Amino acid sequence: MDDCGQVTTEALLEKARAGSSDSLGRLLQLYANYLKLLVLAQLQRNLRVRVSPSDVVQETFFEAHRDFAQFRGRTSAEFVGWLRRILVNNLARVVEQHVLAEKRDVRREISLERLATAMEQSTARLEAVLPAAGSSPSAGVHRRELELVLADQLAELPADYRDVIVLRHIEALPFDEVGRRMERSSGAVRMLWLRAIKMLRQRLDARGVV
């Protein structure tokens, strides 16, 4: 964010809390690819063709904008945690609708707690892709800014490159399972992963992230 001369999430949040609707809108858009990535990591392959991550995120943005007066946090970390809670509820509702359409046992398949835990795990794995940072508050803020840069760069990759990184790094699946999910051999997804990581690192290096 700030490395490109753009206003930081912390600054936008401060302006949004002071009553700037425009700043809130800009702040939410910064998180678009980040939240889409988290949605994508939670969707089974059979649902990816029917559930649009963009639709889930847009509904989350609508509710966040509508209910922002109820947000009591002061930091970007608290804000993104609040966004994720809204996202979990919206994703659970959308998935439940599709499970119901298939006449399956919703109570067995949909659990807000399990979904929230899975999303927290995906968040932690996404953070782990970035280089280690210091423990100071400013280092934490900078790292959260870099997570948004990472999500934006992942969104720009070819779909198969993005998918193999999501499956391998954010869902933490072994290559055999990645291959099964992508309907390719284990060797083929290994080669795909190497090319995808190379391209991602080049893009991040151009932004000064790695």
What's residue 4's pLDDT?
Answer: 39
Same domain for 47 and 130, yes or no, is yes
pLDDT exceeding 90 applies to what percent of the chain?
A: 47
Q: Helices in the chain by DSSP H: which ranges?
A: 9-17, 21-30, 32-42, 45-48, 53-66, 76-101, 106-109, 112-128, 137-156, 159-165, 175-182, 186-206
pLDDT at position 108 is: 44
Same domain, 147 and 191: no
Q: What total of structural domains would you count in the chain?
A: 2
Q: Are residues 17 and 102 in the same domain?
A: yes
Residues of the chain with pLDDT under 70: 1-7, 45-46, 98-116, 119, 127-143, 209-210
pLDDT of residue 189: 96
Same domain as 33, residue 10: yes
Range of the domain at 129: 2-156
Final residue belonging to a domain, choices 114, 135, 156: 156
Q: Which residues of 122-152 are buried (b: 16+ CB within 10 A; e: fewer)?
A: bbebbeebeeeeeeeeeeebbbbbbbbbbbb
